[in-house]
Amino acid sequence: MCQGGIVNTHGRETSMMQVTTIGLDIAKSVFQVHGIDGCGRVVLRKRLARTKVLAFFANLPRCLIGLEACGGAHHWARELTRLGHDARLMPPQYVKAFVKTNKHDAADAEACCEAVQRLSMRFVPVKTEAQQATLMLHRVRDQLIGQRTATINALRGHLAELGIVAAQRQAGLSTLLAALGAAEDDRIPPLAREVLQTLVAHLRALAAKIAALDRRLIAMTRSDPICRALMAVPGVGPVIASAFAASVPDATAFRSGRHLAAWLGLVPGQHRTAGKALRLGLSKRGDAYLRRQLIHGARALVRVSQRREGKLWSWINTPAPTATVQRRGCGRRQQAGPHHLGDPAPRGRPIVRPEIA
């Protein structure tokens, strides 16, 4: 408590001992610290090198520390928590409103210090190293799949220049690979065949790496009770279950499944003014990768729903206001996804990957 509004700030050590709340702006090499005391007065402004951050906070009493949930923030939150501090992560878009002047490190640190004190602030749960490792597996797998798609498209484009085209999907790719492997096919010049075989080798290497990651995902989900429970939801397989468990460390942070759906961007955006409401399309907030996987799972359910019987399947087959099945799949997942995670249902579809001969 501050008595009579008088704060003893004589000396650097005395000021540091009075710090109760700190805003920390993190970066690659230079960190900015902004600290206030119990009265809200600024008692600390400091610029730190990366190598001196932990030593600096180790000498401080227990503080409430606010950081933006950006790159590397989960690591620093874990390290500060180990030192005994209360480190909290905040979405950058919520912190931005507290920047009073032009954007610079000192203003960002002050904004973090101001935002972390708000009772209405929504904080980001700190992920563990294991959860971040799982998400890295997903990101690497997604990157390899993108490279595989780009390689297939390049192969199709090069052969189309020679008048060789094939159908879509795996059947057409197999036809192109067979044409490249047939030495007697004179439609492909020897030099073109040689360089395109490089793409084929790269394609097979990518397929092997993706298959290895798929096996790792399946093994992880089988040993994780949370993933096994998620896979009981129709349309949820090892990819969605493992990504969901790693992306949502604490599901109790959401009051209901509908709040979780809004966090994932699976609900319509809203624009309301003067008593008039305008419903927009999907807000597409949150994790784009997880949202995309959930929509893929919903589309898979729509694709097989005609051959199934039951309450869920009859509801999916009910004619929707929209005319296209693709949009209906997104809408159904928006309504029936996260808030029905506890419903009993058969296991989701396994991972399906194209085979490269």
Mean pLDDT of 307-332: 66
Mean pLDDT of 206-210: 96
pLDDT of residue 316: 85
Tens-place pLDDT, residues 29-53: 999 999 999 889 999 999 999 999 9
| Domain termination residue (choose one: 164, 197, 223) | 223
Residue type at 232 in one-letter notation: A
| Residue 322 included in any domain | yes
Burial per residue of 8-23, b for 16 or more beta-carbon CB atoms within 10 angstroms, e otherwise: eeeeeeebbebbbbbb
Residues 277 and 320 grouped into a single domain: yes
Higher pLDDT, 283 or 202: 202
How far is Cα 33 from Cα 25, in angstroms, rounded to an integer? 7
Mean pLDDT of 159-171: 89
Residues 80 and 163 grouped into a single domain: no
Residues 334 and 235 grouped into a single domain: yes
| Residue 354 included in any domain | no
Q: How confident is the model at residue 15 (pLDDT cuts 50, 70, 90)?
A: low
| Residue 39 included in any domain | yes
Residues 187 and 274 grouped into a single domain: no
The full DSSP string for 167-210 is -SHHHHHHHHHHHHH-TT-TTS-HHHHHHHHHHHHHHHHHHHHH
Least confident of 48-57, 211-220, 275-284: 275-284
Residues 238 and 334 grouped into a single domain: yes
Residues 88 and 151 grouped into a single domain: no
pLDDT of residue 346: 42
Residues 167 and 254 grouped into a single domain: no
Sequence-distant (6+) residues with CB within 8 A of 196 are 155, 158, 159, 180, 188
| Residue 27 included in any domain | yes
pLDDT of residue 313: 85
pLDDT at 75 > cutoff 50: yes
Q: How confident is the model at residue 242 (pLDDT cuts 50, 70, 90)?
A: very high
Mean pLDDT of 288-311: 88
| Residue 65 included in any domain | yes
Tens-place pLDDT, residues 190-207: 999 999 999 999 999 999
pLDDT of residue 327: 46
pLDDT of residue 149: 95
Contact in structure between 301 and 316 (CB atoms under 8 Å): yes
Highest mean pLDDT, choosing among 45-59, 170-184, 251-265, 278-292: 45-59
Mean pLDDT for the chain overall? 85
pLDDT at 13 > cutoff 90: no
Contact in structure between 25 and 112 (CB atoms under 8 Å): yes
pLDDT of residue 214: 95
Residues 156 and 77 grouped into a single domain: no
Residues 239 and 332 grouped into a single domain: yes
pLDDT at 336 > cutoff 60: no
| Domain termination residue (choose one: 207, 223, 239) | 223
Mean pLDDT of 120-135: 93
Q: Which two tokens stand for residue 51?
A: 């190598």
Residues 330 and 257 grouped into a single domain: yes
Residues 107 and 145 grouped into a single domain: no
Mean pLDDT of 259-285: 86
Q: How confident is the model at residue 306 (pLDDT cuts 50, 70, 90)?
A: confident
| Residue 93 included in any domain | yes
Residues 237 and 335 grouped into a single domain: yes
Contact in structure between 19 and 60 (CB atoms under 8 Å): yes
Sequence-distant (6+) residues with CB within 8 A of 140 are 213
Give the domain range for residue 295: 231-340
Domain with 59 in it: what CATH number? 3.30.420.40
pTM, 2 dp: 0.80
| Residue 8 included in any domain | no
pLDDT of residue 352: 44
pLDDT at 325 > cutoff 70: no
pLDDT at 141 > cutoff 90: yes
Number of domains in the chain: 3
Higher pLDDT, 232 or 1: 232
| Domain termination residue (choose one: 62, 88, 115) | 115
| Residue 274 included in any domain | yes
pLDDT at 335 > cutoff 80: no
How far is Cα 40 from Cα 20, in angstroms, rounded to an integer? 9
